Structure 1
């Protein structure tokens, strides 16, 4: 009989009816031992383009990693440092090409905002194909601030409820149901949010969808996002 126990180290311990024999002073002692098997964490791909909004990028990546998600920050144009919208330079983990060669499908694909960054994402055929494949396969497709305009450019999430940075509202066509007054909007596997100030709630919602409400609440408490 196997008894499954979850440990705080993200491992599953399987307690087998097996013992290790040890001898002390001519007496036998039986010590139960465990075989540990690592759990597979959820994965997220965050695409970093020149001119991206740095807060939305860093906060989202940071929060997901706090939530136990394996995050790959992939550079749209390669693995070189990327200059963001407020002149902060971020270094991707690898290029988008390498990230997709290593793992073609992720549990979530996430687009940070920033006007220039969003425009570059909108013009990338690689991003368009990636978004369509993930939407079709029921994976999470998420965007914040101006990045939902990339959904429009690539014909992704048509008919779904979504939101964006207020000044980009006129770029969201009638193919979508535009929502105002909500920090994060979820419609099936489509997740959108409004801007830098809502990035924390965007991150929390992604954690909840990927790893559960309990983990999301734990991250929120640890970061003192509310309840201070």
Structure 2
């Protein structure tokens, strides 16, 4: 029920993540932007990736447009620091990987919950909370409780 496009910052070539996982983007970010708007933009975690997202003016513009239109923005682990870099969601409640708390609490209401939803902003802490993060996004997109069959299949319920 949810269509996902994985976009690569530097094109559509495979990307090796911080823990050695290889992700194969469906398209470049530049090409994906041609299909905007999106119901949700999700920023993945990982320190290196978050730094790259924070440094990308293209990501910044996309996030700012998404926020301005009231559409969903989501970030997990280190990725909320990219939101800060692009002034997205300022003043809202969020969470992140714990080492970023001090940096983020200057402009956000920091919470230590596994998943924090504040209006159109969804954030989560890290790898162990990724399923809860994904299920929360699904419930927002498809309606409360919609993710229950998926959660059950994942043994989360």
Inter-partner Cα distance in structure 2 for 1:131 and 1:84: 22
Aligned pairs for 1:20-31 within 5 A = none
1:219 corresponds to: 150
Q: Deviations over 1:79-126 (max 9, x none)?
A: 00101111221111111111111x121000000110000000000000
| Unpaired segments ≥5 residues, structure 2 | none
Question: Which residue number in structure 1 is paired with residue 94 of structure 2?
Answer: 162
Aligned residues between the structures: 157
- State the match for 1:75 in structure 2: 8
Runs of 4+ more than 3 Å apart: none
Q: Pick the aligned partner of 1:192 from 102, 116, 123.
A: 123
Structure 1: 5+ residue runs without aligned partners?
1-67
Alignment match, 1:63: none
How far 1:214 moved relative to its partner? 3.2
Q: How does 1:136-147 map to 2 (within 5 A)?
A: 136-147=68-79
Greater Rg over alpha carbons, structure: 1
Greater strand fraction, Structure 1 or Structure 2: 1
Question: What residue in structure 2 maps to residue 123 of structure 1?
Answer: 55
Contact in 2 for aligned 1:157/1:190 (Cα 8 Å): yes
Q: What's the RMSD between the two structures over aligned residues? A: 0.9
Give the CA deviation at 1:173: 4.4
Match of residue 137 from structure 2: 206
